[in-house]
Structure 1
């Protein structure tokens, strides 16, 4: 990591490059230009900041042509903390750059929570169209889809009542109303899904404030079935 002294960093690099089956724990400060072909696993302990970054980092696995695995351990709180970190590091002159970073982070979250092919979603996020890969976890499994229409209606109505309410507060309020026992995490997932489906909008400042969009207003007037796995 960036806080290590040069001697310790060099020692870690030499160990990674020369020892059989090494395990290296590092931040993004490590890895640029480092090429060990037989890496068999790239493990992210939280959400990568962008699809571009994840493609580069995960691409260090399997360069020898042998099977390799890439795994992201994702928690919904990752984007909240990363979003606030991006906001805290920005200066007024970099407003557009901060907003772009927030949108990139939201796209990466959509990949992590999505039901479709991971590779297809990652490449679509960087502007490439490809067929499903057939190798990722989503391609090899099929989760049961449920109809979320009733919950979507309730969530959209809650957003419509007060535009600009933040996602976390909204999820807690919906979970606490006692109607169907859904917890805050499930409502938070549904809100993020509706952002991805463009029924609601989300602010690009890291605060995750929600706004009803035109498709969301149309849905409230004339609902249609929405089937997703969760």
Structure 2
């Protein structure tokens, strides 16, 4: 029966890795946890059992946009589904509950906050529930990104109303701690756990350190003209400014963040999904559950706050299995913004001890993210190791692996940079310190009298890019750290102090000109895209 549903309702002949195993475990009545990367087909794993079971499947989902996309897709496939959330008027909500109670829907998506609604709980007591599926289950853990306190209500809900309901939970990213939290905080009973692996072999990972972020972004977007891409920023105002500048440069871009009205967010999302605006500039409010398989690139214009966030957001590229790019821009200034946001979060009513614990966890996640941005090791290996998965030390398909490099001796340069930081009493950031070493004649160097320093121009033989590379190595190696006072300043660590007192040989990989992924220039492919667009408009469905 599962194969018949797979073919008839979803159009596939075979299951992807892990899908059949998960479906079988659910149908055997076992509590089930599935950890599958974005694009691996998690939704089918609970939608097929929902169609095989007698009764209603409740899907607890964190985002309205996710619910709408899933319900629309199901209804287009001939599967009656609905959602219950705050976008419905009281009349629409009552009608939806009435139709659900009459067995009109096989699958109903609900926000976790509904578990505290009296009208919803009355419906649950009367309806024939077959299964509860928790989507984005990492939201239950304070160790994971997107923590949602309302997810903590799921355990009580299941214990009070479950009976013989089947219970399953799904996520794309979960460290060992988050996995343990999902089991304990959701109250799962000896769950059957399926992990299909985190590796997305079709994704090409790269990190860039652009001198002019916007000009580099514009270059990348123009090189990928006609392709769908997502550009992530930290702040809403960055989204607004960047989208406006891209549009002014002739790029068909739109925007998405929580400060827009529901109507505008929905309209902009539709423009992106239907390829009217192939470029989406957004905060992390966009993307969870967005079903657009042909996103060819995801560019993080700002560094996100954790590797969990980064891998989930980057994973929205290439969900169709075709090659796609995940590009991260690293700018030291982003750290200051992230540190401010981290320390000024709204923690609700939790106590001071818990608040400090949460901040400490977030600091560790930010440090891991920064480590990824600065590492010279394989980027894929760095990600997979973070999530506890074994992998080769070189993947051959990330920017760090694909560049040719040579080892250079940098101990003298490092000693000079440390001396310069000490000479300015550790009061300045990277720009001032490196400008001092380069012998810059900028107004700020003159303003602070640094052109009189013994270190002025002492590394003028190196390019600014080479100086930046060496400083990034020093930060990654733990010789120097960036500390936010009123702004980011460079501080020498105890390890750096020991090296300054007793210098030793230090080598760094210096990259030669790297290989770029081949640009897609396929006339037949472009013709097929045009046919697909005509058909999507004819049938009013996303391409």
Common topology (TM > 0.5): yes
SS in 2 for 1:152: helix
Could you list the per-position Cα deviations for residues 148-196 of structure 1 after superposition, in whole angstroms to 9, with x for gaps in the alignment? 1111112334456687544435444434411221566654543342232
The corresponding residue for 2:408 is 146
SS in 2 for 1:54: helix
Alignment of 1:141-220 (within 5 A): 141-159=403-421, 165-168=427-430, 169-176=432-439, 177-181=456-460, 182=462, 187=467, 189-203=469-483, 207-214=488-495, 216-218=497-499, 220=501
Question: Structure 1 residues 127 and 140 mapped into 2: Cα distance closer, same or farther (>3 Å)?
Answer: same
Question: Structure 1 residues 158 and 88 mapped into 2: Cα distance closer, same or farther (>3 Å)?
Answer: farther
The corresponding residue for 1:75 is 331
Q: State whether residues 103 and 204 of structure 1, in contact with CA within 8 Å, keep that contact through their aligned partners in structure 2.
A: no
Q: Does 1:5 align with 2:268?
A: no
The corresponding residue for 1:116 is 377
Instruction: Name the CA distance, whole Å, in 1 between partners of 2:497 and 2:346.
Output: 31
Instruction: Name the CA distance, whole Å, in 2 between partners of 1:71 and 1:56.
Output: 13
Instruction: Name the CA distance, whole Å, in 2 between partners of 1:43 and 1:161.
Output: 38
Instruction: Name the CA distance, whole Å, in 2 between partners of 1:95 and 1:175.
Output: 41
Question: Which structure has the bigger radius of gyration?
Answer: 2
Alignment of 1:48-127 (within 5 A): 48-87=304-343, 93=352, 94-98=355-359, 100-127=361-388
SS in 2 for 1:229: strand
Give 1:11 deviation, angstroms: 1.8
Structure 2: give runs of 5+ residues left out of the alignment.
1-256, 440-455, 512-543
Instruction: Name the CA distance, whole Å, in 2 between partners of 1:79 and 1:186.
Output: 21
Could you list the per-position Cα deviations for residues 73-97 of structure 1 after superposition, in whole angstroms to 9, with x for gaps in the alignment? 3334333443345456589944554
SS in 2 for 1:228: strand
Question: Structure 1 residues 178 and 51 mapped into 2: Cα distance closer, same or farther (>3 Å)?
Answer: same
SS in 1 for 2:279: coil
Instruction: Name the CA distance, whole Å, in 2 between partners of 1:225 and 1:207.
Output: 26
TM normalised by structure 1 equals 0.78
Normalized per residue, the structure richer in strand is 2
Give 1:43 deviation, angstroms: 1.9
SS in 2 for 1:70: strand
TM normalised by structure 2 equals 0.37
Query: Number of residues paired by the alignment?
Result: 230
Give 1:22 deviation, angstroms: 3.5
Give 1:29 deviation, angstroms: 1.1
